[in-house]
């Protein structure tokens, strides 16, 4: 059987996700962002995926990374944090880059405050995985292996 080429995936994490595992474990769990990166690197290797894992608290930085992604990766796994619910700029950027973006949330925003029920990202995402904690990032890798 022909060997499958390694696919490149950008994993983006938005504001405050650097605090994971250090505060509010009842909502977001005890797993740190570094733990998630390690779990993803291990699974990516089994799926012939190569991942680049990044986090920023700055909307413009996330947008710059999305623009650059067009030049070097096949798909993006994105937890936009609270920008999910506020950012028309992220909607525009995702629409513009024409790459499959898999939106991921640790919690299920629909089971939380009403201001989290709207996502500006979902209409331009290829699909959404939410409510499964850190496992959702691994599910997203399975989805990314298709692109």
Query: Which of the residues are catalytic?
Result: 28, 105
Structure tokens at 133: 């904690």
Q: Decide: is 20 part of the binding site for ligand CA2 (CB under 6 A).
A: yes
- CA–CA gap between residue 116 and residue 118 (Å, rounded): 6
Helices (H), the chain: 25-28, 33-46, 59-72, 88-97, 135-144
Find the shortest distance in angstroms from Cβ 33 to ligand CA2: 9
Site for ligand CA2 in 80-139 (CB under 6 A): 81-82, 84, 105-107, 109, 116
Coil, strand or helix: which one is 11?
strand
Choose between 100 and 109: whose C-beta lies nearer to ligand CA2. Answer: 109
* Cα angle, residue 88 at apex, residues 86 and 93 outer, rounded to 5°: 125
Site for ligand CA2 in 31-60 (CB under 6 A): none
Interface residue list for ligand CA2 (CB under 6 A): 16-17, 19-20, 23-24, 28, 79, 81-82, 84, 105-107, 109, 116
């Amino acid at each position: 059987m022909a060997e499958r080429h390694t696919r490149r995936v950008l994993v983006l994490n938005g504001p405050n996700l650097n605090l994971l595992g250090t505060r509010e474990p009842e909502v977001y769990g005890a797993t740190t962002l570094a733990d998630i990166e390690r779990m993803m690197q291990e699974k990516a290797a089994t799926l012939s995926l190569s991942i680049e894992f990044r986090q920023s608290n700055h909307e413009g930085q996330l947008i710059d990374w999305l623009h650059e992604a067009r030049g070097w990766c096949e798909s993006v796994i994105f937890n936009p944090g609270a920008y999910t619910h506020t950012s028309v700029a992220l909607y525009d950027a995702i629409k513009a880059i024409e790459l499959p973006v898999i939106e991921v949330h640790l919690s299920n925003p629909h089971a939380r405050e009403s201001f989290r029920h709207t996502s500006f990202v979902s209409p331009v995402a290829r699909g959404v995985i939410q409510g499964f904690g850190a496992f959702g990032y691994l599910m997203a890798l399975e989805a990314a292996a298709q692109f």
